[in-house]
Structure 1
Amino acid sequence: MLTEMVFAYPGVGFVLYQAVTSLDYPLMQAIFLFISLTVLGANFLADLTLALLDPRVRTGGAGS
């Protein structure tokens, strides 16, 4: 949100701030869901990238 204020760039942080101050619970839930899915997706892509770049990483279970 600091970056949004410094560069006058509207973003999710400012929208979340407005939702909190106006007690807009459905919007807050949607923003938290969006952030959570974004983090999960980024972690999944990082795991896939690691599996492609490091041949020691296998898709099998423990000890296989």
Structure 2
Amino acid sequence: MVVKFGFKELDLNFINAAAMSRNPASYKVMQKFGMKPIDNTPKQILKAGVYEDLVHYGLVKSDAIAG
């Protein structure tokens, strides 16, 4: 619903999301919505005193409509 709202109501052309690299369950949620991996950013977020890598996913409006 959020992705659909972003494309239809807000007229966004691109939606992105990120998850910590040690959280593969989050990747599955993003993949379920058709998002594709874009890049990895090392040591981007501090959690419990440890810097974690982030994996970024994205979806272009034309790809969402086609799928």
Q: TM-score, normalised by structure 1?
A: 0.28
Q: Looking at both structures, which has the greater relative contact order when contacts are Cα pairs under 8 Å and sequence separation is at least 6?
A: 2
Higher helix share: 1
Higher strand share: 2
Q: TM-score, normalised by structure 2?
A: 0.27
